[in-house]
Amino acid sequence: MTASSRLRLKGFALGTANNTKSIDDEGETAISKRFWFISAFIVTTLTAIWLTNPGQWRSSPTVTPTDDPALTEEADNDNLIERTSPLAQIPILMYHVIGDGSGSLAELYVNPEVFASQLEYLYDNGYNTITLRELYDHWQTGAPLPARPIILTFDDGYRSDYELTFPALRQYGFRAVHFLYVKKFDHPNSLTLEEIAELVDAGHEIGNHSYNHLELHTASPASLRRETREAKAALEGLLGLEITSFAYPVGRYNADAVKAVAESGHLLAVTTEYGYASPEQGLLTLKRVRINRSDGLQGFINKLKRYEELEPRRDDKAN
Ligand SMILES: [Zn+2]
């Protein structure tokens, strides 16, 4: 359901309530007057809504979902729209830092305004963010997913995850998966435990991104164990929660690494290979869609085009 149709329904509900009250309290003339007044009000409102581009309405800076608690509530209800068939493919977007950087790693930095426009695009086009755990439950047990689901992942636990990404996502009721590695906690640019707790409280997922951020395809058996099993245990101990997803550092893995990830109790794992994720890839070697600084908004939209053909937005259908 779009914001405009929600408002439309609200308008009708309001009109009905007023109408009932007038029948109880007043004579027939008053009812008639009120009826015409309400009718005129509804027609005017509907015309105004019709004239307003729903996309612009939803993204209007003065009518954001968080400004209106009722809208936020109903946005949550959108998540209850069940898909009728198993999800064959899903974009798992891969971000690193929201901010501005230069040098050889500049492509890992997505400009905050560009990021905001990408989120606005997702919201306006009927996307709903889910976590990897929710994807796993859907693929394994058929648990329902919201319409046009998408997963946003952020690797390495940069402070921007909390300072910039979190408030930007919250504006649209979006959630993300943050892949953290244990050694990063010593770094001044790391998320703090309190910040991570806030993210978790808001429905974000924390995933394991190893102990030392080592490339696993060349790791010894002992090192593999440390980077997978011990890292998972350490993160779970630090954060007081269960971790079920894994991201291979620098996207490097081999059969031994996949085995170690599986044996340490991870349910899903993601690589850096480009593409939409599907169960046929193997639940522990899922592809992701890398979002680069140079993508801007248009490159971002292009990367989702094929998915939008596969996965029509359901809120349009509901209208
Ligand atoms: Zn990383």
233 alpha carbon – ligand 1 mean position (Å): 18
209 alpha carbon – ligand 1 mean position (Å): 7
The answer to whether residues 132 and 2 belong to one domain is no
- Decide which of 62, 82, 102 is a domain's last residue: 82
Q: Does the residue 229 lie in any domain? A: yes
250 alpha carbon – ligand 1 mean position (Å): 6
Dist. CA 171–CA 146, nearest whole Å: 18
pLDDT tens per residue across all 319 residues of the chain: 344 333 333 322 333 333 333 333 333 444 455 545 555 554 444 444 444 333 333 333 333 334 443 344 444 444 456 666 889 999 999 999 999 988 888 899 999 999 999 999 999 999 999 999 999 999 999 999 999 999 999 999 999 999 999 999 999 999 999 999 999 998 988 999 999 999 999 999 999 999 999 999 999 999 999 999 999 999 999 999 999 999 999 999 999 999 999 999 999 999 999 999 999 999 999 999 999 999 999 999 999 999 999 998 876 444 3
Give me 168's structure tokens.
């930007």
Per-residue exposure over 245-278, b if at least 16 CB sit within 10 Å of its own CB, e if not:
bbbbbebebeeebbebbbebbbbbbbbbeeebbe
**pTM of the complete model beyond 0.85:** no
95 alpha carbon – ligand 1 mean position (Å): 10
pLDDT for residue 17: 33
The answer to whether residues 63 and 211 belong to one domain is no
315 alpha carbon – ligand 1 mean position (Å): 35
One-letter amino acid identity for 190?
Answer: S
CA dihedral 3, 8, 10, 15 (to 10 degrees): 170
The answer to whether residues 26 and 108 belong to one domain is no
Q: How many domains does the chain divide into?
A: 2
138 alpha carbon – ligand 1 mean position (Å): 26
Q: Which domain holds residue 39?
A: 1-82
**219: CATH:** 3.20.20.370
87 alpha carbon – ligand 1 mean position (Å): 27
Q: Does the residue 318 lie in any domain? A: no
Gyration radius of the chain over CA positions = 23
Q: Check the CA dihedral 259-261-267-268 and report its sign.
A: negative
180 alpha carbon – ligand 1 mean position (Å): 8
